[in-house]
Structure 1
Amino acid sequence: MSGVQIKTVTDDEAGMRVDRWFKAHFPALRHGDLEKLLRKGQVRVSGGRVKANRRLEAGEEVRVPPLHLSQRPNKPKEFRQEDAKAIREMIVFEDDAMMAINKPFGLAVQGGTNTKQHIDGMLASLEKDGERPRLVHRLDKDTGGLLLLAKTRQAAQRLGDAFKGHDIEKTYWALTAGVPRPREGTIDMPIAKRMVRVGEGEEERVVPAEGEDAKKAITDYQTIDDAGNGVAFLAMRPVTGRTHQLRVHAAAVGTPIIGDRKYGGARSSLEGVSNNLHLFCRSMTFPHPKTGRKMTLSVPLTGHMLKTWKFFTFDANAKCEWPEDIR
């Protein structure tokens, strides 16, 4: 690789640590080599020096110096066969450019403190001819559903550009405490990360906010069905892709997502169903990274949400059509 590159952080990469971002974009780069580049100031974010644990924000520019990866190959690793088998069982679509998986609830996408198993690590078991599937966006650990992966560097770039350019329409399913009024509409509410009081201490959370640090956040929603005890089956479309956007917006309008104790508090618990987060990425419409043609992928409901849908006799194959976005 020759010359300096300037890459822009996408909305879906917001909140990612610098070292995790480099791991996603340049999996052959050793962590020690990255640390050395950071110490020398050769890696910069929006013109400034940063450390490996610095959290990135959407729109920031990352300066990537010449890496010369071919001169510093990583030592081959032995991968667990069960990782390859597990990933293969999650695949719902695959061709020579990309694959898509149905991520289980509770499985992290990337590693972190006390996180031994995660999608990114498991993907290494599928490496072939020096190429391995790459992450191009994320889902929270507690959220299940559709996750797109690139199989080539070019596909990763094109899918990354599509996420950055808001050229991907995502539909999530959620179970909420209460039925929103009106039953369908748009939540246009800026949000920001702020320190808030939790019990006897403070914790950083995403909250509705105003001010220079507040970021535009827009969510479309439709009530697909509801039950007599005041719960609703919602389809939610994030027009913007902010961290925890759907969870914060749902709680802010008085219908927190079931299982979301962080933002929904006591109202997020519901007798008779799982206390795990009821949020699932059901489908995406996006340009194929090789052909450019629009395609739609959807995945079946799984885990505790499937059990909840059966409990309330909600249609697990419900269809949702969004009006054309004219914003």
Structure 2
Amino acid sequence: MLQMMPPAAESTMVRHLEIAPEYAGQRLDNFLLRELKGAPKSLIYRILRKGEVRLNGGRVQPDRRLSAGDKLRIPPVRLGERIQPPLRPPPGWAERLRDAVLHEDRELLVLDKPAGLAVHKGSGIDFGVIELLRALRPDEPFLELAHRLDRETSGCLVLARTPEALRRIQEALRAGLVEKRYLALVCGYWNHGKREVNAPLRRNVLRGGERMVEVTAEGKTALTRFQPVSLFKAASLLSADILTGRTHQIRVHAAHVGHPLAGDEKYGDSAFNLAMAERWGLRRLFLHAHSVTLALGGREVAVSAPLSPELKMVLDRLATGTAGPAGPAGQGDN
């Protein structure tokens, strides 16, 4: 079990912890964020960068995954002198998340994440899904993101309610044993049938001052399987199964084969996006995490999230060829 100094000594004494088996597999930075409640991420990364945090006696990177029995040194941290007063969640978001629960049991929580809401705070964002949920559930002993979705993407988001569940989900994700299926509307008529895109991706490539993900032989393996669902003259609805979890994987792979996603301002076609907004009423990225299936402790959990009314409306208009009133482009369905 965890061995630690009493809470009263946190701010003035070094703490030495032994990592319990249920925390095995968790990233060190996420572990420290929970141990040092209220500490900003900037402080966590600063003490890691300066080598004040030691794992098994040595310096360590923030993304290092913990193992049972690891010895962790946490330096004295005066949280009260470093954190800002807590901010209040934006009106309405907490209520929306309360209504967005698709599945809940003693180990898991699966949400239908709204488009426009980040999964966690950072880079000018004060609240994400995890912060809002913790505010909604102050008595929840453990709640962590099991994976991530882009801010603009809606749909199934899995959170773990126990350290053991988090470890097992992340192991399954790394082993490719979690099935995640997306619905994506892409530019043009898709005439490829079932198609597998196996193209390595590299992130944080600077292009015009903006950080991008690009297909390059020097990137990490990325595999996406596309399959047509509904074909229209102007656009095509595809299902996309990702066998790897790279940043922006579906968006970059779709653009790579000449069919960028509708509403994608980063990798998409600006003329197509404008037409989708003005003629068909699309006001966001059309990418939805439609379903997730995972095995956990000998049981299978399968959850699906329906398309939002806004996205259904766009498909109905494309199917009938009936253009709707122009909506303000670039807004999420929030």
Q: Distance in 2 between matches of 1:25 and 1:239?
A: 30
Q: Distance in 2 between matches of 1:281 and 1:128?
A: 27
Mapped pair 1:101 → 2:111: yes
Deviations, residues 108-144 of structure 1 (Å, cap 9, x unaligned): 1110122133111101124354514221111100000
- Alignment correspondent of 1:36: 47
Helix, strand or coil at the partner of 1:237: strand
The change in CA–CA distance for 1:26 and 1:278 in structure 2 (over 3 A counts) is farther
Does the 8 Å CA contact 1:23/1:29 hold for their aligned counterparts? no
1:295 maps to a residue whose letter is V
Unaligned runs of 5+ in 1: 11-17, 315-327
Pick one of 132, 135, 143 that aligns with 1:122: 132
TM-score (norm: length of structure 1): 0.75
Pick one of 300, 306, 317 that aligns with 2:306: 300
1:149 maps to a residue whose letter is L
- Alignment correspondent of 2:211: 204
TM-score (norm: length of structure 2): 0.74
Rg larger in structure: 2
Helix, strand or coil at the partner of 1:236: strand
Deviations, residues 232-284 of structure 1 (Å, cap 9, x unaligned): 00000011111001000000000000011211232541232314210000001
- Alignment correspondent of 1:187: 197
More moved, 301-310 vs 103-112: 301-310
Helix, strand or coil at the partner of 1:264: coil
- Alignment correspondent of 1:218: 223
Deviations, residues 3-48 of structure 1 (Å, cap 9, x unaligned): 55596578xxxxxxx85x446765737344664354234257xx76
- Alignment correspondent of 1:284: 292
- TM-superposed CA distance for 1:313, in Å, is 4.0
2:225 maps to a residue whose letter is D
- Alignment correspondent of 2:318: 312
- Alignment correspondent of 1:263: 267
Does the 8 Å CA contact 2:54/2:73 hold for their aligned counterparts? no
Deviations, residues 210-253 of structure 1 (Å, cap 9, x unaligned): 13xx11111011001111x2310000001111100100000000
How many residues are treated as equivalent by the alignment?
287
Q: Distance in 1 between matches of 2:96 and 2:60?
A: 39
More moved, 187-196 vs 236-245: 187-196
- Alignment correspondent of 1:274: 282
Does the 8 Å CA contact 1:180/1:254 hold for their aligned counterparts? no
Does the 8 Å CA contact 1:90/1:102 hold for their aligned counterparts? yes
1:256 maps to a residue whose letter is P
Identity %: 27
Does the 8 Å CA contact 1:123/1:132 hold for their aligned counterparts? no
Unaligned runs of 5+ in 2: 4-16, 321-334
Q: Distance in 1 between matches of 2:172 and 2:178?
A: 6
